[in-house]
Amino acid sequence: MRNRDLLGPWVRRFLLEHIVAERNLARNTQISYRDTLTLLLPFAAQQASCSVDKLAVNGIAAPAVRAFLAHLEHDRKCSIVTRNQRLAAIHAMARFIGRKAPEHLGWCTEIMTIPFKKSAKRLIGYLDKAEMDALLAVPDPQTRLGFRDHAMLLFMYNSGARADEVANLRVNQLQLGTSPSVRIVGKGNKTRVCPLWERTAQALRTLTDGGQPDTPVFRGRTGEAMTRFGVHRVVTDCGRQAKVGLPSLQGKRVSPHNIRHTTAVHLLRAGVDINTIRAWLGHVSLDTTHVYAEVDLEMKAKALAAVELPSMNLPDGQNQLPSLMAFMKGL
- Catalytic residue IDs: 162, 187, 257, 260, 283, 292
Q: List all residues 6 or more positions away from 54 whose beta carbon is below 8 Å from its beta carbon.
A: 1, 6, 45
Q: List all residues 6 or more positions away from 90 whose beta carbon is below 8 Å from its beta carbon.
A: 36, 40, 60, 65, 111, 114
Alpha carbon of 254 to those of 37, 232, 240: distances in Å?
31, 9, 8
Phi, psi of 305 (to 5 degrees): -65, -30
The SS3 assignment for 114 reads: coil
DSSP 251-318: T----HHHHHHHHHHHHHHTT--HHHHHHHHT-S-HHHHTHHHHH-HHHHHHHHHHTPPPP--PPTT-
d(CA 126, CA 43): 38
DSSP 168-216: T-BGGGEE-SSS-EEEEE-GGG-EEEEE--HHHHHHHHHHHTT--TTSB
